[in-house]
Structure 1
Amino acid sequence: MGVKIVIAEDETDIRNNLRMLLGMEGFTVFAAPNGKEALELVRLHQPDMVLSDVMMPQMTGHALLQAIREDPALAPTPVVLLTARADRNDVRDGMNLGADDYLTKPFQREELLTCIRAQMVKAQSQQLAAKRAVAQAQHLALFDRVTDLPNRTQCQDLLQQALRAQNVEGQGLVLAIVGLDNLSTLTHALGAAETDGFISSLAERICAEAAQEPLSRGGVCTVARLGDDRFAILIPQWPNAEALQALALQLLSHLSRPLQSMDAEHFPVISVGICSQFTASDTPQSSLARLELALEAARTKIAQRIAIHDASSLPDVSTTFRMHNDLHRAVERNEIVAYFQPQVLASSGRIQGFESLMRWN
């Protein structure tokens, strides 16, 4: 079935002439003598366009137009109003209600066909724009706006697949995280737009690094942007668990090289964390949490800002968190007592120093 058009016209001769003319042009036509019946046809057939007289019994063209615009399923339908009156107020009322065009009777065949073609082109353009907007929204839901890399949500989906493959095939999954520690300084120095460009350049460098030795030995790596100042690298089949320190050092060295921005070189301050030895109980969320802990550990280093977390690191991490929480409660409950002990020379009885001790009771 071709382009469908609903006609609402109370004058029988005009209605029949329009039906015949448009039918000869290849359109599929449904006609009604008033707005009420036309609205039923519109709801039934979901036409590509509506041609409606303004002055009709039971329901006017303006009322029909308003009903169409108030129905979310019908609202995008192009509506052209036909009238024997050239009254400006009539035209303005129709346009205010959302009419797409207006034809004053009597009109010529070519005038009508030109109007219909224009509305079809307009409708197709709007539909295409709407599809592009939906596609863009779907893309932005999974990919980072600045770098076009997978975002955290998409990274979790990809990580779920990688964890499943490791559990089934016994692959040695390794995750690396790259932190840009001087992002705030760069933003103040370069401005938001230039900083986005800097981050894009850094992302390209990380992707290039992931595509070559030694990372490429681990299969096709995936780079994702986890947040404003951090990137993840998923290495699905890392062959050598003993070489993670060397891998971290290489990433730190290569990614710390200066990048060009605003006709000047700017050095990224990089930290690298690496996690390995994932088990069947690991989830994407817990794995990324481990990765974030590795990055925070790397950022505390003074010289080589790297940290390696394997399965043996987990008890230490949980113990640290438990100790942190318990200390907060101990202070609130006055469970910590300070002891002062002077150091006295036995020969003279003079105090030469002291020791201080905090005891947790």
Structure 2
Amino acid sequence: MPKVLAIDDEFHILQLVAEFLRDQDYEVTTANNGRLALECLQSYHPDIILCDVEMPEMNGYEVLEQFRKNSETAHIPFVFLTGMSARHQMRAGMNLGADDYLTKPFTFQELLKAVQSRLKKTEDLHQYVEKQLDAKEKIIQTLAYRDETTGLPNQQALEQAFWQITRQEQKLALIFFQLEGFQNSAAGHTPALGRALMKALTNRLRAYFHENQKNLFYLGINQFCLLLHIQNPQNLLQTFELIQQQTQSPFQIFKQEHRFGLSAGISLYPHNALNLENLLNSAQKACQQAEALGGNQCQFVL
């Protein structure tokens, strides 16, 4: 039930406004001067404020100024109620932060429309802010789980994916791979070259592994891994060969041609390790062995 604070020194107007709005299912609290209204705010938190302009002790402008100075009430819609002679003063009220005004005498329908309109605008604003916050939260989540350079899921995402997959799957393969000669090619160049090479390789991998993109991860400079469900271990060698094919054509980066080989290490869950850290470490060591044996090949963890 929306809450209304009505402020007016004319008792009969205050009562009429309160009774009408209560009949329309609004909760209404009244105050016959500005000082009482400010005291009321210590325990009452209205959704909208209706306030007369010309009142003793504290006029409507002074009430509005106090409300806008308070961070807890500054956002509350504020509607002035004014006599015909005070119309020329409304611009001053709007400049102080009033949201709307009704000129006395007003009809009940005009009052209801003003209240409904202001509350709707406030609700629309709240929904807009919530959507913006949700959108920013999604962006933050995306940045937390994706690499900025390649756009691929990162190691944090790998940890989450491994946990989810191993809850259901009996067997899993982790293929760790990296470009051979990448460090030599990138040495002496700007970091932009390294990023461009990683993006180029990522684009090729995405084109070939579109069905398994969610299981392709970028772990850091020149380090990728692929999580696969095992149906036939022999297919893992074919998968490596498909990955390897993506590096056979030279990369054209900044008008220069770059050629690379590719080595990989393959470890199996739960045969080689029961947790991701050991599974990944063993695959990395197998990849190093592949490079030591001449490179451009893969090695299985025994």
For Structure 1 versus Structure 2, the TM-score category normalised by the shorter chain is 0.5 to 0.7
Counterpart position of 1:106: 104
Counterpart position of 1:250: 242
Structure 1 position 41, deviation (Å): 5.2
Counterpart selection for 2:64 from 62, 65, 80: 62
Q: Structure 1 residues 249 and 9 mapped into 2: Cα distance closer, same or farther (>3 Å)?
A: farther
Counterpart selection for 1:233 from 221, 226, 234: 226
Report the TM-score, using the length of structure 1 for normalisation. 0.55
Structure 1 position 19, deviation (Å): 1.4
What is the one-letter code of the residue matched to 1:78? P
Q: Structure 1 residues 4 and 279 mapped into 2: Cα distance closer, same or farther (>3 Å)?
A: same
Q: Is the 8 A contact 1:175 1:274 kept in 2?
A: yes
SS for the counterpart of 1:6 is strand
Could you tell me how far apart the structure 2 residues matched to 1:54 and 1:307 are? 83
Q: Is the 8 A contact 2:6 2:49 kept in 1?
A: yes
Q: Structure 1 residues 172 and 201 mapped into 2: Cα distance closer, same or farther (>3 Å)?
A: closer
Matches within 5 A, 1:25-104: 25-35=24-34, 37-38=36-37, 44=43, 46-54=45-53, 57=57, 60-68=62-70, 70-71=71-72, 76-84=75-83, 85=86, 86-87=88-89, 90-91=92-93, 93-95=95-97, 99=98, 101-103=99-101
Q: Structure 1 residues 256 and 113 mapped into 2: Cα distance closer, same or farther (>3 Å)?
A: farther
Report the TM-score, using the length of structure 2 for normalisation. 0.63
SS for the counterpart of 2:50 is strand
Structure 1 position 16, deviation (Å): 1.6
Counterpart position of 2:254: none
Structure 1 position 113, deviation (Å): 3.5
Aligned residues: 278
- The yes-or-no answer on 1:22 pairing with 2:13 is no
Could you tell me how far apart the structure 2 residues matched to 1:295 and 1:148 are? 24
Q: What is the Cα-based RMSD across aligned positions, in Å?
A: 4.9
More deviation in 7-16 or 141-150? 141-150
Q: Is the 8 A contact 1:5 1:29 kept in 2?
A: yes
Q: Is the 8 A contact 1:55 1:61 kept in 2?
A: no
Q: Structure 1 residues 281 and 229 mapped into 2: Cα distance closer, same or farther (>3 Å)?
A: closer
- The yes-or-no answer on 1:157 pairing with 2:145 is no
Q: Structure 1 residues 202 and 253 mapped into 2: Cα distance closer, same or farther (>3 Å)?
A: closer
Could you tell me how far apart the structure 2 residues matched to 1:37 and 1:27 are? 20
- List runs of 5+ in structure 2 lacking aligned partners: 252-256
Could you tell me how far apart the structure 1 residues matched to 2:7 and 2:91 are? 21
SS for the counterpart of 2:100 is strand
What is the one-letter code of the residue matched to 1:153? Q
Could you tell me how far apart the structure 2 residues matched to 1:203 and 1:107 are? 73
- List runs of 5+ in structure 1 lacking aligned partners: 190-194, 212-220, 260-265, 313-361
Q: Structure 1 residues 61 and 139 mapped into 2: Cα distance closer, same or farther (>3 Å)?
A: same
What is the one-letter code of the residue matched to 2:242? Q
What is the one-letter code of the residue matched to 1:222? N
Q: Is the 8 A contact 2:67 2:74 kept in 1?
A: no
Q: Structure 1 residues 124 and 281 mapped into 2: Cα distance closer, same or farther (>3 Å)?
A: same
Q: Is the 8 A contact 1:10 1:33 kept in 2?
A: yes
Matches within 5 A, 1:138-217: 138-143=137-142, 150-162=153-165, 165=167, 170-176=170-176, 184-185=192-193, 204-205=206-207, 207-210=209-212
Q: Structure 1 residues 16 and 159 mapped into 2: Cα distance closer, same or farther (>3 Å)?
A: same
Structure 1 position 103, deviation (Å): 0.8
What is the one-letter code of the residue matched to 2:171? Q
SS for the counterpart of 1:31 is strand
More deviation in 101-110 or 138-147? 138-147
Counterpart position of 1:319: none
Bigger radius of gyration among the two: 1
Q: Structure 1 residues 91 and 288 mapped into 2: Cα distance closer, same or farther (>3 Å)?
A: farther
Higher relative contact order (CA 8 A, sep 6+): 2
Q: Structure 1 residues 251 and 88 mapped into 2: Cα distance closer, same or farther (>3 Å)?
A: same
> Identity percentage over the alignment?
18
Counterpart position of 2:274: 280
Structure 1 position 89, deviation (Å): 6.6
Q: Structure 1 residues 133 and 103 mapped into 2: Cα distance closer, same or farther (>3 Å)?
A: same
Could you tell me how far apart the structure 1 residues matched to 2:110 and 2:153 are? 51
Q: Is the 8 A contact 1:81 1:102 kept in 2?
A: yes
Could you tell me how far apart the structure 2 residues matched to 1:35 and 1:270 are? 80
Could you tell me how far apart the structure 2 residues matched to 1:8 and 1:78 are? 14
Could you tell me how far apart the structure 2 residues matched to 1:114 and 1:298 are? 76
Structure 1 position 65, deviation (Å): 2.0
Structure 1 position 223, deviation (Å): 3.8
SS for the counterpart of 2:134 is helix
